[in-house]
Amino acid sequence: MYLPPDDDEQTPAVLRYSHRGFMQGGGRVPGLGKVEVILVDFNQDGQFTLDRDRWALAPAGDRETLYDPRSGRAMSRHNWIEDKAFKAVSLTADGRELRIAPTTTEHTREEEQRLDDPYHADKQEPHSGPSVKFLHDFEKAEKMAKKKGKILLVDFETTWCGPCAMMDKYVYSADKLVAAAKDYVCVKVDGDIRKDLKKRFVVTRYPTLILLDPHGEEIGRRVGYQSVAGLSEWFARTGKAD
C-alpha cells in the first residue's frame, strides 16, 4: 500500500493497494486423487489465515462445484470433497501452502447445505402462481392509498440488489404473503432512479421496506431480506388502516 507524502506535489494524490486477494491451486488427497482449492483473503488484510478468510474445495476439474457460492465457507469451518469432510490444518500467510485433513461432522453435506441456505424455509412455502401486485409509480400509489384509506407498502430496491431478487422469487410469490398483502397498496421504488425518494425516506440499504399510513406518515420499517413468516407477522402486527 502506498500513500504519497503531502509535500510531494509531483506524485498524484492516489492510494495504490495491491496484493493477492484470491488464489486458486491444487493438490492430491490420498484415496481421492487430485483436488482444487480456492482461497479468498476475505478481510483484505494482505495475508491468509485460518480464522478470518474463506475457502472452497472440489475434485480437480469440477469447476461448477468449486465456483458454487455454497462451496465457499470460512476457513475455520470444514469443507467437502464429494461426501467427505476436510478441515484446514495449516496455511501459510502467502496462501501458497495449505494442509488439510479428514474430519467428522454432525450432518451430511446435503443436510448442511439446507441448514446453511437462508432461503430454505421460504422455498418450502406454497407457491401456487400469483405474486404480490406492485405498482411502479410512487405518486400514483400514494394517491391510491390515500383515496382508499389503505396502508402503503413501499419497497425500495435496485437492479443489482441480490436479496431484493430473492424476495421477488421466494417471498412475494408465496401464497401466505400474497394473502397478507391483499389489503395493502404496494409499490416498488428503484433507489438508483428515484434518488429524491431515497433522500426523503433516508434509505441507505436495500431492500428497505416502509409502511405509510393513508396520510403518508411512516408507521413501520424493515431493512434487508425479509422472510415469508417474518413479513406476514409484521403485516399482521402493524394492522390495517383506520
Over range 153-181, report the average pLDDT: 95
| Closest C-alpha among 74, 102, 98, 70 to residue 87 | 102
29 has pLDDT over 70: yes
Model confidence band, residue 124 (pLDDT cutoffs 50, 70, 90): very high
102 preceded by cis ω (within 30°)?
no
Flag whether 8 is in a domain: no
* Domain end among 72, 87, 115: 115
Residue 62 in any domain: the answer is yes
If asked whether residues 137 and 223 sit together in one domain, one would say yes
Query: Per-residue pLDDT tens for 178-195?
Result: 999 999 999 999 999 999
Task: Please check whether residue 179 lies inside any domain of the structure.
Answer: yes
Query: Average of pLDDT values for 114-134?
Result: 92
Residue recorded with cell 403518508: 216
Q: Domain holding 218: CATH number?
A: 3.40.30.10
Q: In what order do the strands lie in the sheet with 79-81?
A: 79-81, 84-91, 98-102
Domain that holds residue 233: 131-238
The total of structural domains in the chain comes to 2
Confidence of residue 239 (pLDDT cuts 50, 70, 90): low
Q: What mean pLDDT is reported for the chain?
A: 88
- pTM as predicted: 0.65
Residue 12 domain-assigned (yes or no)? no
Q: What type of residue is 65?
A: T
Residue 83 within any structural domain of the chain: yes
Read off the pLDDT of each residue in 57-78 and give the average, rounded to a whole number. 90
- Asked whether residue 118 carries a pLDDT value surpassing 50, the answer given is yes
Distance CA 230, CA 237 (A): 11
DSSP code string of the chain: -B---TT-TTS-S--B-----EEEEEEEETTTEEEEEEEE-TT-SSS--TTT-EEEEEETT-HHHHT-GGG-EETTS-EEETTEEEEEEEE-TTSS-EEEEE---SS-HHHHHHHH-TTHHHHHS---S-----BS-HHHHHHHHHHHT--EEEEEE-TT-HHHHHIIIIITTSHHHHHHTTTSEEEEEETTT-HHHHHHTT--SSSEEEEE-TTS-EEEEEES---HHHHHHHHHHH----
- Residue at a domain's end among 86, 115, 144: 115
Q: Which residues are marked as active site?
A: 161, 164
Q: What pLDDT score was predicted for residue 116?
A: 85
At residue 136, does pLDDT exceed 80?
yes
State mean pLDDT over 53-60.
93
Residues 143 and 84 occupy one common structural domain: no
The residue to which cell 443489482 is assigned: 160
Same domain, yes or no: 139 and 108: no
Same domain, 135 and 234: yes
What DSSP assignment string belongs to 98-129? Answer: EEEEE---SS-HHHHHHHH-TTHHHHHS---S
* Domain match, 156 and 81 both: no
Of the candidates 115, 141, 164, which is a domain's last residue?
Answer: 115
**204 found inside a domain:** yes
Torsion angle of the four alpha carbons 120, 121, 125, 127, in this order, in degrees rounded to the nearest 10:
-30
